[in-house]
Amino acid sequence: MMIAKVVATVVATVKDAGFDTKKLIVVHAHVLKDGQLIPGQTVVVANDDLGAGEGDFVLVTQGSSARLAPGMKNCATDAVVIALIDRIDANGQPVFYKK
Amino acid sequence: MFTAVVKGSLTSTIKHPSMKGVRLMIVQPVDPVAGISSGLPQIAADVLGAGIGTRVLVSSDGRAAQDMLKMDKFSPVRLVITALVDEAAKT
Amino acid sequence: MYMARVMGQVEASVRAAGLGPHRLVLLQPLDFQQQPIRWTLVAIDLVGAANGSLVAYEEGREAANPYDPPLPVDACVVALVDGYNYQP
């Protein structure tokens, strides 16, 4: 899964029926490099049922596994938020924690 | 599927039960005709007896792995060596 | 599968219902000269991998297989690496 920061929301009126009532957000991947959590190169749109807000760090499942998340079976999605991150530790040090 | 050259093997005692008794080989993807490396080395399951230096065909389909390794649907294995390549040439 | 080193873990209390309480580990993929490759990622841990250990992880839909019903995950640690021989 990727660690990602919520940067925006997407609104779409015309969409596949499977997307009805589903929230869409834009997330920017973050990666660990030299002991720091830094922005990565990937930005994707993901479905979110957990109520992620802008600035939150989330865990995103991509690919066909995304449809295994609750309520996503009939949704034409390939990226879903599966957790809201409280804290990330690397090399014994916190590199992120939710304020 | 992709062609690869076996570059080594890996041992693991604690692993998912479906991988018990399965050999784990380090495979370096190569261009099938030019023979040059074409990606990052990965780990594939093997039941065909591939050795170091063997050119192999690797499938990245979990269902193929389950069939070849006689694993049930709960196996997470995805890469499996499906053939030992004798020759690949332009026609 | 790729090889990786366990760099740390991710804590998350708000989780999708299907995810369960499984431990989430932060992985740095490595080549067989133990140089970093690809980007770091998060995986569920099937084998009790400690921080700093060498593991093999699987990606994609297959990573969801070990549980019934399958978990909504695209990466899981499937083996602890005892050792390997590699002839580049």
Taken in order of first residue, the domains within chain A and their CATH numbers are 2-97 (2.40.50.220)
Whether A82 and C73 lie within 8 Å, measured CB to CB:
yes
In a domain, B70, yes or no: yes
pLDDT tens profile C8-52: 999 999 999 989 999 999 999 999 999 999 999 999 999 999 999
Domain that holds residue B30: 2-84
Domains, chain C, ordered by start: 2-12+22-80 (2.40.50.220)
Per-residue model confidence (pLDDT) at position A16:
84
What domain count does chain B have? 1
Element (H, E) at A95: strand A93-97
Alpha helices in B39-82 (DSSP H): 62-68
Chain C residue numbers touching A95 (CB-CB < 8 A): 8
In a domain, B89, yes or no: no
Chains B and C touch (3+ CB pairs under 8 A): yes
The residue-averaged pLDDT of A6-27 equals 90
Q: CB of C71 within 8 Å of any CB in chain A?
A: yes
- Percent of chain A whose predicted confidence (pLDDT) is above 90: 80
Q: Please name the chains neighbouring A, where neighbouring means 3+ C-beta pairs under 8 angstroms.
A: C
In a domain, B11, yes or no: yes
Per-residue model confidence (pLDDT) at position B69:
85
Q: Which residues of chain B have pLDDT under 70?
A: none
* Position C60 pLDDT exceeds 90: yes
Chain C residue numbers touching B12 (CB-CB < 8 A): 56, 79-82
Q: Which residues of C39-64 are buried (b: 16+ CB within 10 A; e: fewer)?
A: bbbbbbbbbebeeebbbbbbbbbbbb
Residue of B nearest to C81 (CA): B12
In a domain, B19, yes or no: yes
